[in-house]
Structure 1
C-alpha cells in the first residue's frame, strides 16, 4: 500500500513529542512530556479499603501500593510533580474505581484532607486530570447531586483491560490513543503507526510498562477479541503486516468527536485545532442525529 506525501508527514508528526501549546494547523496530537520531580509515598489513610473481602483487599491493596511506586511515571506523562497529598487522593480514587464505588465530597475531605481542606479544590482538579489522561478514569459529578462523584472509564467505554484477580491498572488511555491513531490515519492504521505513537510514552511491544503492562497482546488480541478493533492482513505485505480499524463495540460506545476531545486534552488544546479531523467528526455527529426522511404518505 503506497503512501501519499501527506500520509508520510502525518506519520512523522505522530513520532514527535511536541510542546503542549495550542496549534492552529492540523497535526496529530503527540503525548505528554517528561518532567523532572519526585514524590514521597503517601501515608496509609487513603489506602485502607472500607470493607472488602480478604482476597479483594489483597489485590486492591497491592494495586494501591503499585500506584505509589508508579508516581514517577505519572509525573513523566503529565509533565509536573505529584506531591504526597495528590498521591493520597489518587490512590483513594483508584481504590474506589476498582471497587466500583461512588464517593462524596465529604468522604474525600474526611479520608484525605482532614487537616488541609483549603487545598482540596486545586488538588482535586489536578488529580482528576491525571486520572483521566493517564489511566482513562473519569471522575465526574453524579447527575442531580453536587456532592456525589461517579468514577468510571473515560468516554463511557465499558472495558479497561484490567483483570479481576490480578493486580493491574486500566489501559483505557491506550485504547483511546489507538482509536485516535486509526482516525488520524484515515480510519485505518498499520500496526507500525500505532507503535510509533505509543513509543512517545515509552510503551513498546514486548516491553513491560509499569502502568500499561505489555501492550502487544492488549492491542492485537484483547481489543480485537473485545470487538473494539478489527484487524486485517495488508495485501501483498511480506513479511505479513496487519492494519487496524475501529470495531463495532468502539462505534457503539464512543465517537470520533469524543476521541478527538480526549486527545485535545492530552495536547492541551481544543478539538477545533485539528481542523480536518474536527470537521469530519462534526459531520458524523450531525449524521448520527439526523432524522430519517419520512415516507411520502405521512
Structure 2
C-alpha cells in the first residue's frame, strides 16, 4: 500500500515545506514534482507505445473529464496525472492534445485551462453561439438561475460586492439565507461553498473588518463560461433600458467577451 506514496513523499516533502506549507495536500506535492515533458521527450515516449495504447489512455482521460464535469468542479492536473495518466506522464501533452480534439469533434466541448498557475481545467459548451443565451441561464435549473442573479449583481456593481449586499438582494427575491429554502435548502451554503468550489464565485475576506466581512467576485469558470453581453441584455430587459445605458459595463462586456479571465481576475 505504501509503495505508491513513497516516491511522492521522497521528492515532494522538502518542496511542500518550503513552498506550500505544512498544509499542502498529497496532490499538490505530486503536481510540484511533475514537469511538463519537452517535445523530444514526448516523441521518444510515443515511440515506445503502440497507437492503441495512446488511444486507450486518451479515452480514459476523456471519460475522467466527463464524469468530473458533471459536478462542475474544475479538474486538477495533479489528480489527472496521479489517477489517470499515471505511467504515461511522459506523453502528457500529446494525451491532452488528443483529448481536447475529441471534446471538440465528438462532444462539441472546449477544454480550457482556467488557472495556468495551479493547472485547473474545465469543459465549456463550444457549440453555444456567443450571442445566444448563456448556458448558466437554463430555466430548468433554478440553482444556476440563482447563480446568474449573483453574477449579474457583481458585474453591474463593478466586479466586487460585499456579501451583505448580495444577501439583501436575494432576500428581496425571496431567498432568505437565514431560512431553509424549499428549492435550494441551505442557500448560503450553496453560494459560499458549492458555487465557490465550482469556481463560479470567489469569496474573499475583507481585511481589517470586525466582525469579519467577505466580498464576492466572479470566479475563473464564470469568466470563461458566462456571457457579459447577455447579462447586459438581461438587465436591459429587466429595467426597460438599452444595454448601452450602462456605459462602463457595456465597455467591459464588449472589450474581450469570455476571453480575459486571467486579466479580469487580476485587475479586481
Q: Which TM class, normalised by the smaller chain length? A: 0.3 to 0.5
Please identify which structure carries the higher helix content.
2
Could you tell me the TM-score, scaled by structure 1's length? 0.38
Could you tell me the TM-score, scaled by structure 2's length? 0.42
The structure with higher relative contact order (CA 8 Å, sep 6+) is: 1
